Amino acid sequence: MLEQGGAVSQEKILYKKGERLWTKEEFTERLKEVGHSFYHDKHPFHTAMHQGKLSREQIRGWVANRYYYQKSVPIKDAAILSNLPSRELRREWIGRIIDHDGTQAEEGGIEAWLQLGEAVGLSREEVVREDRVVPSVRFSVDAYVHFARTKPWIEAVASSLTELFSPDLISKRIKVLERLYPWIDSAGMDYFQNRLTQAPQDSDIALKLVLIYCQTPEDQRRAVEALRFKCDVLWAQLDAIEKAYPLKSD
């Protein structure tokens, strides 16, 4: 599934056992290397999106499928919340759920994603009914929720660190969608605009926790693996979306 250049040798570095404890700088660097190699910004479907090559149907398929991920994020975060060992940690985490679910006063990320759906020409009802969501998208997202429920909380926190890499991708995406897909109603961009400020705040907290609570080489290795797992979750979604909405060969 993940046939990228350098992936195998990268893995050897990442998963070698018996290493000494990395310094915080080395550990942060290892985490960032995971993103550099495996984050879904390099997936062919994203590459095609950012080159303006996707059809309306492909954009719609991506938005409709990705809804299943969006709606599962607060479920995942509530699972992590329930596994956090103190109220101080829960206080730092609970805002993520509110960001996605919203409040009576202010709608959140799920609503913003539904508005993106409308902006690309999907009815709210068909997105919510999940008509277009393909099984492999469901399976990968469900695997992520299951991971958050069942793994030690610090690994679940580490798995969220793809947010270290998302602001770069999202800021490019906003420009790409506006310039290369002018038929998309710009009212649908709120989700991405909001994530530009939310994601760095979230990843600051998550990285702080991972650096504090991973105290052994094994902890550090597992955090790196958790982040790699999360990259796989995102990558697998795009694989499934590409399969359902194939790219044209050049």
What's the Rg (C-alpha) of the chain? 18
> Applying CB under 8 A, which of residues 10, 28, 48, 102 lies at the interface with a second copy?
102
Beta carbons of 138 and 149 less than 8 angstroms apart: no
Residues ≥6 apart with Cβ < 8 Å to 87: none
> Applying CB under 8 A, which of residues 101, 155, 202, 239 lies at the interface with a second copy?
101
> Applying CB under 8 A, which of residues 96, 100, 151, 230 lies at the interface with a second copy?
100
> Applying CB under 8 A, which of residues 87, 179, 183, 248 lies at the interface with a second copy?
87
108 binds a second copy (CB under 8 A): yes
104 binds a second copy (CB under 8 A): yes
82 binds a second copy (CB under 8 A): yes
Smallest separation (angstroms) from a second copy to the CB of 86: 9
Q: How many residues bind a second copy (CB under 8 A)?
A: 23
Q: Count CA atoms closer than 13 A to 78's CA, side-chain side.
A: 10
Dig out the tokens for 1 from the structure: 């599934």
The residue among 94 and 170 lying less far from a second copy, judged by its C-beta, is 94
97 binds a second copy (CB under 8 A): yes
The residue among 109 and 188 lying less far from a second copy, judged by its C-beta, is 109
The residue among 146 and 175 lying less far from a second copy, judged by its C-beta, is 146
81 binds a second copy (CB under 8 A): yes
Burial class from Cβ neighbours inside 10 Å (0-12, 13-18, 19+) for residue 51 reads exposed
Smallest separation (angstroms) from a second copy to the CB of 218: 26
CA dihedral 209, 198, 74, 120 (to 10 degrees): -150
Dig out the tokens for 141 from the structure: 């997202």
Beta carbons of 143 and 233 less than 8 angstroms apart: yes
Beta carbons of 130 and 69 less than 8 angstroms apart: no
Positions 33 through 72 that interact with a second copy (CB under 8 A): 71
> Applying CB under 8 A, which of residues 14, 54, 110, 241 lies at the interface with a second copy?
110
Residues 137-159: b if buried by 16+ CB within 10 A, e if exposed: bbebbeebbebbeebebbbbbbb
152 binds a second copy (CB under 8 A): no
Beta carbons of 236 and 147 less than 8 angstroms apart: no
The residue among 103 and 216 lying less far from a second copy, judged by its C-beta, is 103
Positions 192 through 231 that interact with a second copy (CB under 8 A): none
Question: By the criterion CB under 8 A, which residues form the site for a second copy?
Answer: 71, 74-76, 78-79, 81-82, 84, 87, 90-91, 94, 97-98, 100-104, 108, 110, 149
